[in-house]
Chains A and B, each alone.
Chain A
């Protein structure tokens, strides 16, 4: 192989200096998130809601379980009970912050569980052979045949009410969609040349999955999982509303909504408060997921 004659004399060396410091992908995403005002506002709001729930004993003004016959269904703005009281005279504000604990646990735990199980299955289906893929994906399709609410009700109905069973049933409900999303992301990534190059390097499969495929799939999974948190909060509230979730007298938003339903004509504003908590919280997680997606959707030159 001869040197190309013209090149050594006029050797156009590529510029070697790149001005800015190298930044990792996640640093860039964080930077973009911070510049998105809407997402920052929603993020602050979410942290506030989580903070109220975590520090419920300090921010609650009354015992959430302590009622009083003389102070039933007080309206919003009553001195001492600034968000009013419920049908047994328990303070709404205290019940809302304590209820946030259970509602958030029911919103986040199933999604974490489903991401773990579904993500693993989706990755396996994506990198495994056709047989494994068919096996996993067709089983997932069976779960898709049931509407998610019905499936959750059915599982909870069989296992009985209680927070543990609510989390379990919602995990089962959210696993199939996460398997699907992960599988399609994995299949996309797997066909890229850098995975071929990694295979050609004689590296074992687990190293290829962990270091080449997973980092490229994780972002999409994260966005999808965040969007599921709001659905999970709504579904768990629905289960409690039906009496299949959290058992009374524990405060939980769905359960509170059900109990206050009877008081809707007496004191509609107080009756709507647990619903408002559900709406605001799920909206926050939804918008957070949107912001995350647009921050991670970095157009790279190809």
Chain B
């Protein structure tokens, strides 16, 4: 949104390869299908299509927001990006280098430049290690930094995330509050000096006042360190606040992507529209009376044919059941996967809509 310094004014990272115009992270057709356990010995082995052909790009120095209800594959995507889970198919290209490609970079090199902050601030910290041990583990184990250098760096990081090293370095995770623990998580992720930070629901478990502090901290860090963020959240208000671009996921696929302003001003996909209507409003005259979306998301083991949203979409027609709509541009930096935005798709509203657009 605002506050993003123009890229040419920022100190150039020596690790930068493609220049500011090249996206820092490019994901093409990422797929992960998990096989389920057989119900009985001769039962069929089914697959959960957790992430099914996801593509997006994150430009340098920007924040990409990823939204969607729980179970839509947001967290799986994050883990696939770091190769914590091996993707079944698809390419991950980091600053022009394919990850695992013959002429690209290794998973290890990728992890040195891309780090993640987890949602559960407690379970993501080793309960038997002190805060200093937690922060220095990565640099010592992966980069072979000397213990002293790593410790000095850890103190600096603690200062940076707003915790006094003298008070916190020797403490254990259970002695800290949720907000403090999430600050430690951020410091740990920053210890390897990454260029891209994946924030997987990093503020979702915090209460609102602490959430605001952490968001401000993240904004400061991004400015000071020239970071790029991939911000995963189910909270639309937060995503709108922090993101430059937004990707909306539904059942393992991207249904809408674009500039944050464009998407929030005029969502085009019925699912995004329903999400927007479900956003709590501060205005008592605009309260949400009826739920905008009913029912649970369908089971990802046997996802609906065609457009995956057709079972809950009020505009669904036969074409939606049969054909899966591609993610196509609808003008400007805005892509939508819906038959209603494609002229001649066979949907009764398609022609009418395009006529209104022109």
* Mask of B125-138 contacts with A, CB within 8 angstroms, 1/0: 11111100110011
Q: Is the CB of B126 within 8 A of A3?
A: no
Q: Is the CB of A196 within 8 A of B118?
A: yes
Most A CB contacts (10 A, CB to CB) among B79, B141, B164, B174 go to: B141
Assess A201 versus B137: contact at CB under 8 Å? Given A2-B3, A300-B127.
Answer: yes
Q: How far is the CB of A216 from chain B (nearest CB, A)?
A: 6
Q: How far is the CB of A106 from chain B (nearest CB, A)?
A: 33
- Provide a sorted-by-A list of 21 A–B residue pairs whose CB atoms are within 8 angstroms: A1-B215, A1-B242, A3-B216, A7-B216, A14-B180, A14-B210, A18-B171, A22-B130, A22-B170, A22-B172, A192-B124, A194-B126, A196-B118, A197-B185, A198-B138, A198-B141, A200-B115, A201-B192, A202-B108, A207-B137, A211-B133
Chain A interface SS verdict (over half): loop
Q: How far is the CB of B256 from chain A (nearest CB, A)?
A: 21
Partner of B2, one of A2, A6, A23: A2
Q: Is the CB of A201 within 8 A of B138?
A: yes
Q: Is the CB of A193 within 8 A of B127?
A: no
B window 260-274: CB within 8 A of A: none
Count of chain B residues with Cβ under 8 Å from any Cβ of A?
A: 59
Q: Is the CB of A202 within 8 A of B111?
A: yes
Count of chain A residues with Cβ under 8 Å from any Cβ of B?
A: 40
For the complex with contacts A18-B176, A193-B123, A203-B137, 7 further pairs of A-B residues with Cβ separation under 8 Å are A4-B241, A22-B175, A23-B172, A192-B123, A202-B109, A202-B192, A204-B142
Q: Is there a chain A Cβ closer than 8 Å to B212's Cβ?
A: yes
Assess A1 versus B127: contact at CB under 8 Å? Given A197-B188, A200-B84, A202-B138.
Answer: no
Q: How far is the CB of A49 from chain B (nearest CB, A)?
A: 31
Question: A residues within 8 A CB of B129?
Answer: 211-212, 215
Q: Is the CB of A25 within 8 A of B2?
A: no
Question: B residues within 8 A CB of A200?
Answer: 82, 84, 111, 115-116
Q: Is there a chain A Cβ closer than 8 Å to B120's Cβ?
A: yes
A202–B167 Cα gap in the complex (Å)?
A: 28
Q: How far is the CB of B60 from chain A (nearest CB, A)?
A: 15
Q: How far is the CB of A8 from chain B (nearest CB, A)?
A: 7
Assess A302 versus B172: contact at CB under 8 Å? Given A200-B111, A204-B142.
Answer: no
**Interface set of A (CB-CB < 8 Å, partner B):** 1-4, 6-8, 11-18, 22-25, 192-194, 196-204, 207-208, 211-212, 215-216, 300-302
Q: Is the CB of B219 within 8 A of A3?
A: yes
Residue of B nearest to A207 (CB): B141
Q: Is there a chain A Cβ closer than 8 Å to B209's Cβ?
A: yes
Residue of B nearest to A194 (CB): B126
Q: How far is the CB of B175 from chain A (nearest CB, A)?
A: 6
Question: B residues within 8 A CB of A208?
Answer: 141
Q: How far is the CB of B143 from chain A (nearest CB, A)?
A: 8
Residue of A nearest to B134 (CB): A194
Question: A residues within 8 A CB of B188?
Answer: 197, 201
Q: Is the CB of A25 within 8 A of B128?
A: yes
Partner of A12, one of B112, B124, B180, B209: B209
